[in-house]
Structure 1
Amino acid sequence: MIRIALLTVLLVMSTMARGQDLPTPEGPMTMERMAGIIAALDPEVSQRGPTFEFTIQDIPVIVIADPRADRMRAMVPIRSADALEQAELLRLMQANFDSALDARYAVAQGRLWGVFIHPLSPLERDQLISGLAQTVSVALTYGQSYSGGASVFGGGDSSGIYQELLDELKKRGQEL
């Protein structure tokens, strides 16, 4: 009986200790928080209403957020979609499945884009930074490894490029 009581006490104490190790939740992503994070990544960001325009590694990035719909979208223009052939479209769909990670290739308004789409309010700082890095990475690796970053399901060769970009962006975002 004493063993059961001791085991119960130890179990409760270990559960409580584990709960103390959990990171503090950030709270919902707002337009103001997003603006601060993006400004840390590129101090020359331009904001017009819900739209942010900035540059990461010489790649233009557009972020549009809609708090009422609780959505955000980061977009990087890659090229005109007019001359995309079926084999290239198939390769883009394959990349969306295994190597683009949270970023995606998409076609809209006659262009091929790298995009990251996420619900706005649950988005955390590191998720935003990672999503932006992955979106820039799919643009940089277009025509080669078509990779969103360090983890590629089934292998890949662009993990070092993505990891350097992610580390650099996280370092810039640390001041927040």
Structure 2
Amino acid sequence: MPRFLPALLPALALCLAVPFATAQQTDAPEAPPEAAAEPPMTLQRMAEIIRAIDPEAQPAGGAIQFTIDDIPVVVIADAAANRMRAMVPIRSAGGLTSAELMRLMQANFDTALDARYAVAQGRLWGVFIHPLSSLEKDQLLSAFVQTINVARTYGQTYSGGATVFGGGDSNGIYQELLEDLQKRGEEI
């Protein structure tokens, strides 16, 4: 485990009890059936999705560490706070110039999309932060793609990769990665 991770790993709760609202029956005519609603995201469900992506995923302290395309990803979640964070280490934050920091802030505004560049514990990270219970599976997979892409494109396009304008090849590459992750977790 990289030596900078232990300082960032808060306690990961073991389970999340999510109350389900029950619909009351009425005498109104039946509405057409809708697609089955996706269940709320829980720590257990998130761990199952991650294990479908990387069967060698490992709990580390209060987080789950795994790898996608040889890139380490760390997910920290807190059911009590209803938050999750997916993180990809990029580099040491030492030596970042004011021009580089300005470029990171610009990318956070327009090209990083839902992922963000962040500095913590002396390190530059690609991060995605979201409420846990409302997170859908495809949003989680997109979070992984975007955090990986902000790490990959650091120093170049600084892009989360979910939306790319122009006629280049980047969007196809990002879409292939998203589709691959979706296929690995189809049953979840």
TM-score (ref. length: structure 2)? 0.78
Q: Which runs of 5+ in 1 are unaligned?
A: 1-12
Number of aligned residue pairs: 159
Where does residue 10 of structure 1 map in the other structure? none
Letter of the 2:173 counterpart: I
Cα distance in 2 for residues equivalent to 1:105 and 1:129: 18
Where does residue 3 of structure 1 map in the other structure? none
CA contact (8 A) 2:72 2:89 kept: yes
Please state how far the C-alpha of 1:103 moved relative to its aligned partner.
0.6
Cα distance in 2 for residues equivalent to 1:136 and 1:101: 12
CA contact (8 A) 2:119 2:125 kept: yes
CA contact (8 A) 2:114 2:143 kept: yes
Please state how far the C-alpha of 1:156 moved relative to its aligned partner.
8.7
Where does residue 150 of structure 2 map in the other structure? 138
**Are positions 1:101 and 2:87 aligned together?**
no
Q: Secondary structure at the match of 2:51?
A: helix
Q: How does 1:11-160 map to 2 (within 5 A)?
A: 16-17=31-32, 20=33, 22-48=34-60, 50-152=62-164, 158-160=170-172
Please state how far the C-alpha of 1:160 moved relative to its aligned partner.
2.5
CA contact (8 A) 1:52 1:64 kept: yes
Q: Deviations over 1:86-135 (max 9, x none)?
A: 11111111111111111100011100000000000111111111111111
- Structure 2 CA distance for partners of 1:54 and 1:174, relative to 1, 3 Å: same
Letter of the 2:98 counterpart: Q
Q: Which runs of 5+ in 2 are unaligned?
A: 1-28
State percent identity of aligned pairs: 67
Cα distance in 1 for residues equivalent to 2:69 and 2:51: 15
- Structure 2 CA distance for partners of 1:33 and 1:98, relative to 1, 3 Å: same
Letter of the 2:72 counterpart: P
Structure with the larger helix share: 1
TM-score (ref. length: structure 1)? 0.83
Letter of the 2:81 counterpart: A
Where does residue 8 of structure 1 map in the other structure? none
CA contact (8 A) 1:31 1:50 kept: no
